[in-house]
A and B are shown apart, each in its own frame.
Chain A
Amino acid sequence: MITVKDIEHLATLSRVKLTDEDKESLAMEFDAILGYIDRLKKLEVKIDAEGRVGAVKNAMRPDEAAPRSPAERERLLAAAPDREGDYIAVKKIIAQD
């Protein structure tokens, strides 16, 4: 049984603001969804999987900065909601008391 309090905790962890109405309906939907996926717990499983899909392997590359053109850098910076020169601007994260 998932409570509104559980949903609030998950929303805090996920950094999502929810309305009270959303919390109520999400709690109900969670019960239905978890009721479905909880059936997996009945299956006999040896848990030692590598979690690998097909022949996909880790591909490494040298830890070097790749050269980027100024135009490309400008396009990426231009997407930021707030910037100062070549920096992306955010609010202060350390408060002064």
Chain B
Amino acid sequence: MNIDLKKLTIATAAAHLKAGDFTAVELTQAYLDLVAAKNREVNAYLEVFTDAITQARAADAVIKDGRQGPLTGIPCAIKDNILIQGRLASAASRMLQNYRAAYDATVIAKLKEAGVVFLGRTNMDEFAMGGSTENSAFGLTKNPHDLSRVAGGSSGGSAAAVAMDGALFALGTDTGGSIRQPASFCGVVGLKPTYGAVSRYGAIAMGSSLDQIGPLAKTVADAELVFKAIRGRDAFDSTTIDENTYNEPYAEHRTSKTAGRKPRVIGVPRHFLKDGVDAAVLGSFEAALASFERKGYEIQEIALPNISAALMVYYIIMPAEVSSNMARYDGVKYGLHIDGKDGIDDYFETRGAGFGREVIRRILLGTYVLSSGYYDAYYNRANAVRKMITDEFHKAFESVDVIATPTAPGPAFKIGEKTTDPVAMYLEDIFTVTANITGMPAISLPCGTVVREGAGLPIGLQLTAGHGHEQRLFDIGRDFLNEE
């Protein structure tokens, strides 16, 4: 059977594998061929694993025995900051260029158990810091829809790998939008789960109160399958929650008007969409709301009075956590070591040579906001505002099921367009950081395209739900995309 990678989803591929229409080896070879043809240009993958076919053979044996699950033999791509034992995990940094993982991340152990095929590791902004994958120490990733534009970031390689049909799904990490914004730029589905829903054990840490691992896939159903395979409480990550941590009757906090009915009220913070949003993005957003109304949803305007402060809060808390997390790269335990004249000089030399510009900028910024004398004005204040914003979201979810915004203020921008202006790059995260600040789950869904210079550029719609309510995002997302 001829394998049409463009049309394939995890669900259909699993059905074909089960029916014997093709084997996992044939499927994997089809992906390897496509990646060999396209990756030189796109640079989604930093490395393609030479043992992918061996992994596929093992999956075929499981399928032959009829012991397969929904992910057996499914080829996937893994962001380069998630550890797979024995393989390089560089976080796209010179600091970890030759670092081999000593153990499996929990999500990787779960995916191995599920029988997936790891095709390779994907490019990213160094240590997941950036919104364009231009901060990779190993070359940027180009957008498969227009090679003159960025793929978004920091999980740009994962989004581009799925978008170019170079994997059926990919894992990314999301600290301020790093799954959802590249998903939006590349026209795929991207989920940032509830904080704690997925174990962070074995994910190279950036901002520990914000980081989450999540899936990028072609359909909502596929993203849901992957999420359900990787979530769960984990003894190695004490912040993990289980399915019932936030369990509450669907409509417990809802008004009597909508209680007990299927999710149908979509909240829109219109006051937040006034400035700095591309006209095409606003147009696609309004069209999405109209489509929801036609499907019987109610659109309700909501107020989130302090939401515009979320990005400022983020750019205080995130660098503070970055500066702490990056302290471990000392040239002693693992990673790069550059010899200095004495022990402390080893640190200066190693860290100066190993870290790229954006990483250093954030380490210094974090050190600044945590300095004695500034701590109250920045870090404490940011934490207080974080709580205020979270409370505002809780209040909004008393009357709506999900909150809709665009995922990013614009479509994919040109390579180099924002590299000299850090604040402009940071503003890319304006709609996505709130889900990390509040710990709530959010999904980016493909929401039409805009033609720029002859290329059709995807636009994303973001839905946010209350803690633990990923299922609402999946149900409404499937409905929106008219998935079976």
Contacts and interface: CB of A to CB of B under 8 A. Distances in A.
23 contacts: A16-B348, A16-B360, A16-B364, A17-B351, A22-B357, A26-B364, A29-B422, A32-B423, A36-B312, A39-B312, A40-B312, A40-B316, A40-B382, A45-B388, A49-B380, A55-B241, A58-B238, A61-B238, A79-B335, A81-B335, A81-B337, A88-B332, A90-B343
B57 interface: no
Contacts, number: 158
Contacts of B312: 36-37, 39-40
Contact of A54 (B99, B365, B467): B467
A88 B368 CA distance: 32
B385 interface: yes
A43 B332 CA distance: 43
A43 B309 contact: yes
Q: By DSSP majority rule, is chain B's interface helix, strand, loop, or mixed?
A: helix
Contacts of A54: 194-196, 241, 246, 438-440, 467
Interface in A21-48: 22, 26, 29-30, 32-33, 36-37, 39-41, 43, 45-48
Interface in A45-65: 45-56, 58-59, 61
B385 A40 contact: yes
Interface of B: 85, 99-100, 102-103, 194-196, 209, 238-239, 241, 245-246, 306, 309, 312-313, 315-316, 323, 330-337, 342-344, 346-349, 351-353, 355, 357, 360-361, 363-365, 367-368, 371, 376-378, 380-388, 390, 421-423, 426, 438-440, 467
B422 A93 contact: no
A55 B360 contact: no
B166 to A, nearest CB: 30
A97 interface: no
Nearest to B332: A90
A17 B384 CA distance: 34
A79 B364 contact: no
A47 to B, nearest CB: 5
A61 B187 CA distance: 43
A47 B426 CA distance: 26
A80 to B, nearest CB: 6
Given A17-B353, A56-B241, A78-B102, 11 more contacts: A14-B360, A43-B306, A49-B383, A51-B386, A51-B387, A54-B196, A55-B196, A75-B85, A81-B334, A81-B336, A91-B342
Q: Which 3 A-B pairs have CB atoms at the shortest separation, nearest pair first?
A: A17-B352, A81-B337, A59-B238
Contacts of B467: 54-55
Interface of A: 7, 10-11, 13-18, 22, 26, 29-30, 32-33, 36-37, 39-41, 43, 45-56, 58-59, 61, 72, 75-76, 78-82, 88, 90-93, 95
A13 B215 CA distance: 37
A53 B238 contact: no
Contact of B355 (A16, A51, A76): A16
A80 B334 contact: yes
A70 to B, nearest CB: 13
